[in-house]
């Protein structure tokens, strides 16, 4: 089931955000990841609104109909979290339940820490909350993937990935969405290729594409990125050192709000650190982890690949808050 939400531009944290809004009731804010938009929640908006919630799905800064600062530092974690806290206030609420996927997950996990008074509960999809860690994430990846290609390392030099992805947005998105899907088993994100390879090198472009992403869905995403480009979205990957410095104040603090984690069993993110059970590591950082749901056979785009199962898990979590 999908829904056509109302759209509005909301001013928060000195920027304008396009927000898809539907329903009435307690506020649930849905925060998307890379490379997506509010549209990645198209299957959840109707389900949550129909269950008695007011749903708001913004384009995060750098995407779609929202403002797009140019500077890399504008995409540091504290700014991203301040955006969400500001949106909650701008929508007239004191608190909200936050749900985030991919980069949206670290944003909502950290918003619950930087702005705890604004967050009633939090759910992360795909990316578990691991705390600050002993070093910036990009340093960890340099060690783990030394001499090999890893997409986050490739994204570090401004302009390089932008040029590759913007040359043919449709093909780029098809390959990216497929490589991390359940059908591809996520092999593309950690592919064994040379360190100087490009992101799209060797990635499959299946025909037909798996049914969870229709031609109409792809057309929407293509139109968004043809208009907005990839610089803002990629800048989020370039703030690891700044994020690490900003998160110093969070060391020793756990997420105390009621929490949930949902992911596909084939999500490659869960295998980014070989030999480490990231979900078990998350349990050390999240005090009230009420639901952990791994959806068998699903990949990284879990709420699009398996919307019914994700909706059921989210509604179960929301009912637990009563």
Q: Could you tell me where the beta strands, DSSP code E, fall in the chain?
A: 6-12, 15-22, 27-31, 54-58, 96-101, 119-125, 255-264, 286-295
- d(CA 91, CA 263) in angstroms, rounded, equals 29
Distance of CA 113 to the CA centre of its chain: 17
pTM given for the model: 0.97
Q: Which of 43, 101, 115, 300 is catalytic?
A: 300
Answer for the pair 79, 15: CB distance below 8 angstroms, yes or no. Answer: no
Give the residue, 273 or 67, on which the prediction is more confident.
67
Is residue 3 predicted with pLDDT exceeding 90? no
Q: Which of 59, 67, 83, 102 is catalytic?
A: 102
Domain positions in the chain: 6-320
Query: Has 300 been annotated as catalytic?
Result: yes
Mean pLDDT of 180-192: 76
DSSP-based three-state secondary structure for 143: helix
**Residue 49 neighbours by CB under 8 Å, 6+ apart:** 3, 22, 23, 24, 55
Is residue 1 predicted with pLDDT exceeding 50? no
- Report the CATH superfamily, name and number, of domain 6-320: Alpha/Beta hydrolase fold, catalytic domain (3.40.50.1820)
Among 97, 19, 28, CA closest to 59:
19
Quote the mean pLDDT of the chain.
Answer: 95
What integer pLDDT is reported at residue 185 of this predicted model?
72
Strand partners of residue 16: 11
């Amino acid at each position: 089931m999908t829904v056509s939400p109302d759209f509005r531009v909301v001013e928060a944290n000195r920027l304008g955000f396009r927000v898809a809004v539907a329903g009435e009731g307690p506020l649930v804010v849905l925060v998307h990841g890379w490379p997506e938009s509010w549209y990645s929640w198209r299957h959840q908006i109707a389900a949550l609104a129909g269950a008695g919630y007011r749903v708001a799905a913004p384009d995060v800064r750098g995407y779609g109909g929202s403002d797009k600062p140019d500077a890399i530092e504008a995409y540091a974690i504290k700014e991203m979290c301040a955006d969400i806290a500001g949106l909650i206030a701008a929508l007239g609420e004191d608190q909200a339940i936050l749900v985030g996927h991919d980069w949206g997950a670290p944003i909502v996990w950290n918003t619950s820490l930087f702005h705890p008074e604004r967050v009633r509960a939090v759910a992360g999809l795909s990316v578990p909350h691991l705390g600050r860690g002993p070093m910036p994430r990009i340093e960890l990846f340099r060690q783990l993937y030394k001499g090999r290609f890893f997409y986050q390392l490739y994204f570090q030099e401004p302009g390089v990935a932008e040029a590759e992805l913007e040359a043919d947005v449709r093909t780029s998105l098809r390959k990216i969405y497929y490589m991390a899907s359940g059908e591809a088993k996520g092999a593309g994100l950690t592919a064994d290729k040379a360190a100087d390879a490009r992101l799209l090198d060797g990635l499959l472009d299946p025909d037909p594409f798996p049914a969870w992403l229709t031609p109409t869905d792809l057309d929407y995403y293509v139109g968004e990125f043809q208009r907005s480009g990839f610089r803002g979205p990629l800048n989020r990957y370039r703030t690891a050192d700044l994020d690490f410095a900003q998160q110093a104040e969070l060391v020793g603090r756990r997420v105390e709000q009621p929490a949930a984690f949902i992911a596909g069993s084939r999500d490659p993110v869960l295998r980014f650190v070989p030999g480490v059970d990231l979900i078990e590591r998350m349990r050390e950082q999240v005090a009230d982890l009420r639901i952990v749901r791994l959806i068998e056979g699903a990949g990284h785009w879990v709420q699009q690949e398996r919307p019914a199962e994700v909706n059921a898990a989210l509604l179960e979590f929301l009912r637990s808050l009563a």
